[in-house]
Amino acid sequence: MTETVKDVLDLIKENEIRMVDFRFIDPFGVWQHFSVSAREVSGDTFEDGLGFDGSSIRGFQTIDQSDMLLIPDTTTTFIDPIFEVPTAVMICDIFDPLTRQPYPKDPRYVAKKAEAYLKQTGIADTSFFGPEAEFFVFDHVRYGGGTNSSFYFVDSTEGWWNTGRETENLGGQIQAKRGYFPAPPTDTLQDLRSLMVLAMEDVGLEVEVHHHEVGTAGQCEIDLRFDTLTRMADKLITYKYIVKSVARQYGMSATFMPKPLFEDNGSGMHTHQSLWKNGNTIMHDEAGYAGLSDVARYYIGGLLKHAPALLAFAAPSTNSYKRLVPGYEAPINLVYSQRNRSAICRIPMYSGSPKAKRVEFRAPDPSCNPYLAFAAMLMAGIDGIQNQIDPGAPIDKDLYDLPPEEAAKITSTPTTLDAVLDALEADKDFLLQGDVFTEDLIEAYVAYKREEEIDKVRLRPHPHEFSLYFDI
């Protein structure tokens, strides 16, 4: 673990590092980077910072205010497990070069401010997050489109549609929705996931488990051990980088797109979260429902109340709403329950230990920017606690098999990205508390989503529309 500048410089020398890679994240969850020769890195690098053009990063600066500064965080340093050239990596914070103040639109700064605000409230001093990011690994990917065409094609030797393929076919494909836990050789990706795990462990990530997921055609899950909010976001971005890079090394392609397949499961990112104070959980009360304290119930109340706005950051793609669809096994019901995976908030009951008491928010997906998504969830929970928002009675029934009169009483999440952006604009005050999120960050985020994502999808003919309407 590198703590100081000296630790980093010693690591570079002792490991004969040739390049140092500086990384930061844009508002939409994409890791950006540039590298310098290790010879150029000195103590001054950490004091003076490194300049970059903020106008070339989506959602950041205008061209007349383009100069920005990166300051490396020494505690995030790791040796890259992918590059052939020995390379050290550091995650950076973004600053204004004139004022030397943190940049308000830096997602990592937002996450840090959320943690600081939690302490300021006196409710707790630590927030733990544990995301379960699912992904697909494909053997072949093609997509594209233009004025007169649009298509995508993904393939995997595991895909159930390949049972009749005449070449390179050994059978044993995974049927739709039957991918959860079959042993090899049905699960063809055991070694690949293990290599991903080993690469993660090499950079200091703590992995709890890996397995095949429900979907056919290479759906996988690798779970990281929980950590504090900003650190967990750092780890999740590193996790995604390693998953995609190791897959590419072995001639495959990994995607965290929420819904790449029709008629099979999408990829979610169920997010476990808990609050602690003075080294003790404040989520547990033996007398409460599912062992929940009143604080935990109010935290859930905040998540439920603000869920539509939260999804603008936690399920932030048009494709997210191909997964969050009413009537299927999607976590869209705004209720909470112990063990019940059809509720948007689940209380895991695997362990009776008070330390394990937590809330699992099941609507997020891994297309999100984790710094913003985790920060937004924490702010919703804090708002719930401060205002003692009652989440109502839990529901322990199968929400997909309720009588019509009961089902009509259950509210659901919005069904489009457009709708959750509307919800965010109408319900953002809880995010602005403590200056954690800022108006200009939210405005820039919403504008980009509407102009560059929603409109670009909405204006294009869908391939299936030709099946429905061409010969009308």
CATH for 327: 3.30.590.10
Does a structural domain hold residue 367? yes
Among 380, 389, 412, 390, CA closest to 399: 412
Helical packing angle, 439-448 and 417-426, nearest 10°: 160
Residue 273 sits in the same domain as residue 240: yes
- pTM here is 0.96
How far apart CA 454 and CA 457 sit, in angstroms, is 5
Within a domain: 356:
yes
Going from the C-alpha of 223 to that of each of 183, 323, 351, the distances in angstroms are 18, 20, 17
Verify that 201 and 312 share a domain, yes or no: yes
Q: 353 and 426: one domain? A: yes
- In a shared domain, residues 70 and 157: no
- Is residue 96 one of the residues assigned to a domain? yes
Q: Are strands 343-347 and 333-338 parallel, antiparallel or unpaired?
A: parallel
Residues 354 and 301 in one domain: yes
Q: Which domain holds residue 93?
A: 5-103
Report yes or no on 150 lying in a domain. Answer: yes
205-223 per-residue burial string, b: 16 or more CB within 10 A, e: under 16: bebeebbbbbbbbbbbbbb
Which neighbouring-strand residues pair with 94?
70
Number of Cβ atoms within 10 Å of the Cβ of 459: 7
> Is 270 annotated as catalytic?
yes
Q: Of 103, 138, 154, which residue constitutes the final position of a domain?
A: 103
Cis peptide before 260 (omega within 30 of 0): no
Q: Which of 341, 458, 460, 462 is catalytic?
A: 341
H or E element in which residue 384 lies = helix 370-386
Q: Which of 108, 212, 270, 284 is catalytic?
A: 270
Maximum pairwise Cα distance, the chain: 72
| 225 domain residue, yes or no | yes
Helix, strand, or coil here: 327?
Answer: coil
**Integer Cα distance of 231 and 242 in angstroms:** 16
Q: Are residues 143 and 75 in the same domain?
A: no
Same domain, 128 and 96: no
Would residue 233 count as lying in a domain? Answer: yes
Residue 53 designated active-site? yes
82, 196 contact by CB (below 8 A): no
Catalytic pick among 193, 323, 358, 362:
362
Q: Is 84 a catalytic residue?
A: no
Q: One of 213, 223, 234, 453 is an active-site residue; which one? A: 213
Q: Is 360 noted as a catalytic residue in this protein? A: yes
Residues 286 and 155 in one domain: yes
Residue 15 lies in a domain: yes
Structure tokens, 270: 């169920």
> Catalytic annotation on 272?
no
Last residue of a domain, one of 69, 103, 137: 103
Residues 29 and 178 in one domain: no
Of 73, 103, 133, the one marking the end of a domain is 103
In a domain, 113, yes or no: no
Q: How far apart are CA 179 and CA 252, in angstroms?
A: 18
Structure tokens at 195: 């290599």
Phi, psi (rounded to 5 degrees) for 247: -55, -45
Work out how many domains the chain is built from and give that number. 2
From 40, 48, 53, 398, the catalytic residue: 53
| Backbone phi and psi for residue 20, each to the nearest 5 degrees, phi listed first | -120, 125
Q: What is the pLDDT along the chain (472 residues), one digit of tens a residue?
A: 789 999 999 999 999 999 999 999 999 999 999 999 999 999 999 999 999 998 899 988 888 788 889 999 999 999 999 999 999 999 999 999 999 999 999 999 999 999 999 999 999 999 999 999 999 999 999 999 999 999 999 999 999 999 999 888 899 999 999 999 999 999 999 999 999 999 999 999 999 999 999 999 999 999 999 999 999 999 999 999 999 999 999 999 999 999 999 999 999 999 999 999 999 999 999 999 999 999 999 999 999 999 999 999 999 999 999 999 876 778 889 999 987 777 899 998 887 788 999 999 999 999 999 999 999 999 999 999 999 999 999 988 877 777 888 878 889 999 999 999 999 999 999 999 999 999 999 999 999 999 999 999 999 999 999 999 999 9
CATH number for the domain spanning 88: value is 3.10.20.70
- Please check whether residues 127 and 153 belong to one and the same domain: yes
| Given the residues 134, 187, 234, 383, the one annotated as active site | 134
The two structure tokens encoding residue 372: 């913003």
Instruction: Clarify whether 158 is annotated catalytic.
Output: no
The answer to whether 213 is a known catalytic residue is: yes
| Chain centroid offset of residue 21 CA | 23
Residues 318 and 346 placed together within one structural domain of the fold: yes
User: Does residue 345 share a domain with residue 208?
Assistant: yes
Among residues 80, 93, 115, 132, the one annotated as catalytic is: 132
Q: Name the catalytic one among 264, 360, 365, 453.
A: 360
272 φ, ψ (degrees, to nearest 5): -85, 140
Pick the catalytic residue: 106, 158, 221, 365? Answer: 221
